[in-house]
Amino acid sequence: MNAMPAYIGFTDIAGLKWAGGNLGERKKRHMPYCSSLIMLVNPAINNFIAVLDGSYITNARTGAQTAVALKYLYADGSNERKSIRLGLYGAGMQGHMQTLAISKRFEIMELRVYDIDKKALAKFKEDMSGVVSGRIILCDSPQEAAQGDAIICVTQANTQFLKDEWVSPGTIVFPMGSYQEADDALLLNAGEIVVDHIDQTLHRGALSRLVERGLLNEKGITCTIGDVVAGKVTLIRNPDKKRFVSKLVLVQWILPAQTRFTRQR
């Protein structure tokens, strides 16, 4: 389990999220991979004010991260509902959430999805058929899914299964799992590396192993997605270069948790 304390100054809210995934006993008992609990605190008086289930907020937030990043990196910040083609690794809960969130902003004209669990693939197609405007293609091999304007990895894998040679120039790659899902060459050959928080990215997640081995440092990070959204950095898309987007900020759960609590009162 991970303990994630957070404080947001402009709303004056603090809290702690306990969250973790487990493929062992939880899987045997047919329980969801992720378990999470959120506790909110009024920092002015140091009182706990709410306890919320954190699983849905965590899953929805992670899906929303990709959708927001695509708005600014693929659609150049436009609110126009553009069409998009996606490659997706992982047909579980997070695969569903990624698809739902992106469909709120884009017309998904093609979605290629790969999962080692064929039953999960079939259920995904059934569940998402009313969400995806175009075709849902269930892939038999990992390489088949490595096509699209964006490729999203939301797996529990601890192997570098996404290969640089599979990914076409101009593609935006989102490795959203806890470990390094893309091979070293794909990460190191990216034309841009955009992250949500530089310090956290350097010691945890998709890039951390490269940092530990001295192959990447802060100078190799292009910018944060916050810089792009705020207009501090303007990125010009290069169709000959791949883009790599890493997520990790662990405090993003606190604002939706506060919003949920406020609306329920």
What's the pLDDT score for residue 237? 80
What are 41's two structure tokens?
């605190």
Are the beta carbons of 245 and 222 closer than 8 angstroms? no
Q: Residue 16: how many CB atoms within 10 A of its CB?
A: 16
For the chain, the domains span: 2-55+252-264, 59-246
What are 44's two structure tokens?
């002015």
Cα–Cα distance between 117 and 222 in angstroms, integer?
36
Radius of gyration of the chain (CA): 18
Please calculate the CA angle 44-49-53 and round it to the nearest 5 degrees: 135
Domain 59-246 carries which CATH code? 3.40.50.720
What are 147's two structure tokens?
């096509």
Q: Are 2-55+252-264 and 59-246 in the same CATH fold?
A: no
Q: Residue 31: how many CB atoms within 10 A of its CB?
A: 11
- Tally of helices (H runs) and strands (E runs) in the chain: 9, 12
Do the strands 13-21 and 34-42 form a parallel or antiparallel pair, or are they unpaired?
antiparallel
Cα–Cα distance between 180 and 188 in angstroms, integer?
13
What's the pLDDT score for residue 112? 98
Please calculate the CA angle 209-211-217 and round it to the nearest 5 degrees: 155
Please tell me the pTM assigned to this model: 0.88
Q: Residue 152: how many CB atoms within 10 A of its CB?
A: 30
Q: Residue 58: how many CB atoms within 10 A of its CB?
A: 25
Which amino acid appears at position 261 of this protein?
F
Q: Which residue's structure tokens are 């791949």?
A: 242
What are 48's two structure tokens?
């706990």
Measured over the CA atoms of residue 216, residue 217, residue 218 and residue 224, the dihedral's sign is positive
What are 137's two structure tokens?
């293609």
If the chain, 265 residues long, is cut into consecutive pieces of 10 residues, what is the mean pLDDT of each piece? 86 89 78 86 93 88 91 92 97 95 97 96 96 97 96 91 94 87 91 88 85 92 91 87 71 73 75
Whether domain 2-55+252-264 has CATH 3.30.1780.10: the reply is yes
Which amino acid appears at position 122 of this protein?
A
Are the beta carbons of 79 and 235 closer than 8 angstroms? no
What's the pLDDT score for residue 260? 76
What's the pLDDT score for residue 41? 93
Residue 89 contacts by C-beta under 8 Å, 6 or more apart in sequence? 113, 114, 115, 142, 145, 151, 152, 153, 154, 155, 161, 162, 181
